[in-house]
Structures are given as structure tokens and as C-alpha cells.
A and B are shown apart, each in its own frame.
Chain A
Amino acid sequence: MSGKTYRANDVVSCVDEGEDGAMLYNPDTDESVLLNPSGLTIWTLLTSPRTIEEIAGHLAAANPGLTSEQARKDAEQFIQSVVPDFVIEAPNEH
């Protein structure tokens, strides 16, 4: 995962449901996934290509209590859960 860049799949729609988080929907696969507010923050970041390190950096900055190690784990876990239906690898776009 290290070094790779990721970005939101253009075909996916995102509906922000406020306190309930957000729903991503991929009409090509008819799959949907619910995001909590932290997941929505990461999704918003992914409108531009990002590495795991960059995502973890944003998470750590937004959550002062979060260690850099935990932020990286959270970022990796998120990416694993949404690739490839909702987020795609963008190796040459960064």
C-alpha cells in the first residue's frame, strides 16, 4: 500500500446524511457503503489523489489524540474497505 496513490472513483455518488455519516454508491456494481463522519472526511480528501501517508497525516492533524501509527492504521483500513469499488488506485496521478 505504501507509495501508492488513491482517489475517489468518479462514478461513485456520495450522499451526506449529516450526523448519520454518508452513503457511497457505485452504480456500475450496484454496491453501496456507509461511511462514518471520519470516513466522509477521508472520502472528501480523495477527490484528489492521495497516498496513505497523506491521508494519515490529515487524520492525525484533525485528531490531536491520535498517534501517527494509529492514523496510518486507520487510513489503511479505510482504503482496504473501499478499494476497488469506491476508491481506485491512481499510480501515476500524484
Chain B
Amino acid sequence: MSTEALTVPDLTVPPTGLSRAPRELSLCVTGRCNLKCRYCFYADEMTGRSDLPTERWLALFDELGGLGAQRVTLSGGEAFLREDLFELIDGIIANRMRYAILTNGTLVSQDTVEAFDEGKRRLRLNYVQVSIDGSRAEVHDQSRPPKSFDRALSGLRMLKQAGLPVTVRVTVNRTNLDDLPNIARLLIEDVGLDGFGTNEVEQMGSARCYGESVVLTPAERLRAMDILTELNEQYEGRINAQAGPLAMARHFAKIEESLAQGKNGLPGRGMLNSCGGCLTKMAVLHDGTMVPCDLLPTLTMGVIGLHSLAEAWRSSPAINAVRYRRKIPLTSLPTCHDCTYAGFCSGGCPGSVMAKYELLNARDPLVCYRIFKGEEPGDAAV
């Protein structure tokens, strides 16, 4: 373990160079959802909290406009359950921002699609992301209520046919692993998408209850990595991933390439700095709680309307604790002090780590190359 003493930062003081306000925000505009998916990461946050009313969201958009925020992503719950969704979107547009929507797709109708044609709603839309987890109902609906697939695919096709920027996120899990080639064929060849994104079910939200039926085993994750790598070659790089099996396959391939070249690390690695999101982004939950990320719902920064967002952005210890992770060398962690691959690693998603261990300053075993190689038994965080 590193013997160099680490300086404890003042968590009320932001890192040097931090902007005065976030550029982007993830806004969970409702905790309600018409589905109850078996791996909804947000499920933990839904019960017992009310949705903010329209005027509170509009007031937030005014505040964000004054701060020069640029982009917001609307999610939930299911964003299209909000009857005032397009009123909220117009509030975003009036405040000189762009927006994206994450949806399960099942509530998208022809009326919904036509509503995007008013004013600048279409111009300012970055994308609508629909969750599709199977190539057919028998797969997709294993983790969702019956008929979810037909409605989601119909919504996806309507958005695509209307010429709106639409993308898909496929969450890899135990029920759709073998269906991945069919999913790729459906989305790229049949629906005609430019590509789609992937991640994987994590042990958080409702997946805590359904873990064994949905969370990949280590062997299945290896298979997912191989399948997605092969599909991505077949479809010439049209499958993307920021996290999950495909992202891990790329990361591990890079490590192996570097090791073969005799390197002992990669630029910018070796610290707990995997997530730079909190340097430009933050999130607001459906009841108005400000958090560093919607995957870190317990790190409360304040409540919109009661606390200044700009002040919370710069001075909240909750978000600064995530930012200062990047000052922590991986070799200072008990799990990694003797790891010869530490120079290649950045520790993984803080949200995943918190969900697993209720600790922020630990590494995620899912991204650990030493575990991947079978050189470290177990996955203890500390």
C-alpha cells in the first residue's frame, strides 16, 4: 500500500477550474412509471417521494437559463407519463437549452410525435432514447409487463419515421444474452437505426430483488463481451457503450495491447478518476433533490427552490467528494495496493461502487482487470 499520506481536501471548496454552473443536468421529472422492470435502477427512489409540480420545474429552468446550462436529459420513471411534459420542454427551450428524453417508448403515440413539430421542440431535441431489451416479446417482456415489447417497438418506429433523432439503449442481462445478435439485426437492419448503445444490469434498484434472474454471472459477462465485440465488428462500429460488457471488452483489450508493448500504465489512469461527469454535470431527482448523479441518489446536495443550485454545484461536499476521488491513487486502496495493473485502471463508476458497498472511495470489481484475469479471488471492496 502507498505510504504517502493523502491530504484530506476541504470538500466545501471545488477543484480548481470548475465552471460556475453545470453545463448539463440529468432531470428525473417523475418517479412514476407505467412499467415495473426487473432492473430499474431508479426503483429505490420512487416510493414515498412526490413529483415536483410544473411550476417548480419551470422555476428551475429559469434558474438554469440564468446560469448558462446547456443541455438537460429528461428521464424518470417514465417521462411521457407527465401530462405537462411538452410544457416543461418549452420552458427548457425558452431558457436557451437543448434536451434529450429517456423513455421506455410504450407511451409514444402519433400525437406525441406530432407535438415535437411545434416551435423549436424538434430543433432543440438532441435525441429520444428508447429502451429495447429483446428482439421479440418473449425476450423483452421477461423483465417487463406483458405487451411492453410491441408498444415500445411501435413507439420507436413512430419516432424514427417522423425523422426525430432516436436511439436505443439495450441493457444486457441474463434474459437477453443469447438474443443480442437478433436485437442488433432488428435495430440496425429492420428499424434502420444508425446504431445503438449497450450497458448491463447492475445490482441496484429493483435488480436487488430480482438479482439472480437478471444480473449476469461472471461467465455470462465474458460471453457478453465476446458477443458484443463480434457484433460491433460485424456492424462496423455501430454499437457503442460507455459502460457494461462492450466497454469493458474494449478497456481490457487496450490494457492487453499496452502490456504487450511493455507499458505499465495508461495516461490519466492509476487514480479513482473513472467518472468525470461531476465536473460538468449533476442531477435532480423527481422530488427536487439535487444529487451529483442519478446513480448516486443518497448523496444529497440540497433541494431545488430551497437551496441555490449554483452554490450547491460548487460548495456541496456531496458532489465535491465525487470530484476529489480523482486525487486518490488506486494503490492507496486495500483492494488494489499490490495490483500490477493499477496504472491502467480508473476504478469504475462511483454509482456502481456505492450501490454495492455504500462506499464512495472503492473500486468496482466489474471493471477490475485482475479479477477478469482470475488473479484475484473474491470481490471485496475493502
Q: Which residues of A contact B (CB under 8 A)?
A: 11-18, 20, 23, 25, 27-28, 30, 32
Q: Which residues of B contact A (CB under 8 A)?
A: 17, 19-21, 65, 67-68, 70, 93, 96-98, 120, 123-124, 126
What is the bound-complex CA distance between A16 and B19, given in angstroms? 9
- Nearest chain A CB to B23 CB, angstrom units: 8
Contact of B67 among A11, A15, A20, A27 (CB under 8 A): A15
- Nearest chain A CB to B145 CB, angstrom units: 36
Indicate whether A27 sits within 8 Å of B68 (C-beta atoms), given known contacts A15-B19, A15-B20, A17-B20. Answer: no
Residues of A contacting B126 with CB < 8 Å? 30
Indicate whether A27 sits within 8 Å of B20 (C-beta atoms), given known contacts A13-B68, A15-B67, A32-B70. Answer: no
- Nearest chain A CB to B204 CB, angstrom units: 31
Contact indicator B124/A27 (Cβ below 8 Å): yes
- Nearest chain B CB to A17 CB, angstrom units: 6
Contact indicator B67/A28 (Cβ below 8 Å): no
What is the bound-complex CA distance between A71 and B19, given in angstroms? 30
Contact indicator A25/B96 (Cβ below 8 Å): yes
Residues of B contacting A25 with CB < 8 Å? 68, 70, 96
What is the bound-complex CA distance between A11 and B120, given in angstroms? 11
Contact indicator B96/A15 (Cβ below 8 Å): no
What is the bound-complex CA distance between A18 and B17, given in angstroms? 11
- Nearest chain B CB to A85 CB, angstrom units: 13
7 example contacts (A-B, Cβ-Cβ < 8 A) are as follows A13-B96, A14-B68, A20-B17, A25-B68, A25-B70, A25-B96, A28-B120
Chain A residue with minimal CB distance to B17?
A: A20
Chain B residue with minimal CB distance to A18?
A: B20
Chain B residue with minimal CB distance to A28?
A: B123
What is the bound-complex CA distance between A15 and B17, given in angstroms? 14
Contact indicator A15/B68 (Cβ below 8 Å): yes
What is the bound-complex CA distance between A84 and B20, given in angstroms? 27
Which of B68, B93, B98, B123 has the most chain A CB atoms closer than 10 A to its own CB? B68
Residues of A contacting B70 with CB < 8 Å? 13, 25, 27, 32
Contact indicator A11/B20 (Cβ below 8 Å): no
Contact of A28 among B20, B68, B124 (CB under 8 A): B124
Contact indicator A13/B65 (Cβ below 8 Å): yes
Indicate whether A30 sits within 8 Å of B68 (C-beta atoms), given known contacts A17-B19, A17-B20. Answer: no
Contact indicator A23/B98 (Cβ below 8 Å): no
- Nearest chain B CB to A14 CB, angstrom units: 7
Contact indicator B96/A11 (Cβ below 8 Å): yes
Residues of A contacting B97 with CB < 8 Å? 27
Given contacts A13-B65, A25-B68, 7 further A-B contacts (CB under 8 A): A11-B96, A12-B96, A15-B67, A25-B96, A28-B123, A30-B98, A30-B126
- Nearest chain A CB to B74 CB, angstrom units: 15
What is the bound-complex CA distance between A28 and B121, given in angstroms? 10
Chain A residue with minimal CB distance to B96?
A: A13
What is the bound-complex CA distance between A30 and B20, given in angstroms? 20
